[in-house]
């Protein structure tokens, strides 16, 4: 489980984020029009999972605004904004902010996402909600980068996430991605993935 904080108080999740280099766990989430979106539908795209407790809070809302702005400059990339909020709440925010480059998703019909990605908060007043985290998935469905934000009241490190995405293109190997990203800010892979294993940092 991840040990994080909310307003300085310890909070635990039900697990850890997926390991870099592994196939991203499958999921099905619900869009604002109440249709379901499986991860498999995004095959061949880079995917950013912006995960957070609730769109109704200031920090979560700001993360969606920031990723929506960034998404305009990212090629072949789907940015998913994911929480336990009902699709109607997501739609209200999309309409109010005029968002046009992210996909807002709810755990309306299944809780598999939070369980499979290890982001379900298990204690405190936020129990049952999702922690604040970001996962980057490459075009082949493998986890390239993860970021578990240590304090729920803090925003993600956007630039490190975007750097991870920008290092990828369809002709770039995992080895190339690792060497291009700054030390301490890139995903670390095991030898079994035939990618870099130089001891540099992975998750932040």
State the DSSP string of 98-122. T--S-EEEE-SS--HHHHHTT-BB-
On whether the CB atoms of residues 82 and 105 are closer than 8 A, the answer is: yes
Please report which helix (H) or strand (E) contains residue 86, including its range: none
Note the Cα 96 to chain centre separation in Å.
23
Q: Known catalytic residue: 60? A: yes
The secondary structure of residue 142, as a DSSP letter, is: B
Buried b (16+ CB within 10 A) or exposed e, 174-189: beebbeebeeebbbbb
Catalytic residue chosen out of the listed positions 60, 81, 178, 196? 60
189: closest CA among 200, 197, 181? 197
On whether the CB atoms of residues 9 and 124 are closer than 8 A, the answer is: yes
On whether the CB atoms of residues 114 and 122 are closer than 8 A, the answer is: no
On whether the CB atoms of residues 102 and 68 are closer than 8 A, the answer is: yes
Catalytic site residues?
A: 60
């Amino acid at each position: 489980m991840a040990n994080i904080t909310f307003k300085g108080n310890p909070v635990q999740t039900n697990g850890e984020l997926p390991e870099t280099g592994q196939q991203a766990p499958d999921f099905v989430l619900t869009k604002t029009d109440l249709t379901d979106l499986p991860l498999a539908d995004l095959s061949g795209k880079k995917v950013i999972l912006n995960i957070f407790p609730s769109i109704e809070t200031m920090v979560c809302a700001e993360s969606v605004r920031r990723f929506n702005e960034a998404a305009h400059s990212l090629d072949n990339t789907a940015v998913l904004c994911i929480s336990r909020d009902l699709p109607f709440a997501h739609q209200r925010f999309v309409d109010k902010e005029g968002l046009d480059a992210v996909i807002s998703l709810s755990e309306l019909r299944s809780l598999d996402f939070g369980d499979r990605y290890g982001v379900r908060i298990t204690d405190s007043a936020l129990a049952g909600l999702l922690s604040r985290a970001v996962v980057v998935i490459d075009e082949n469905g493998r986890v390239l980068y993860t970021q578990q934000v240590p304090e729920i009241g803090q925003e993600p490190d956007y630039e490190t996430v975007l750097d991870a995405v920008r290092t990828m293109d369809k002709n770039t190997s995992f080895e190339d991605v690792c060497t291009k990203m700054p030390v301490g800010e890139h995903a670390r892979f095991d030898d079994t993935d035939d990618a870099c294993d130089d001891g540099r940092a992975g998750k932040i």
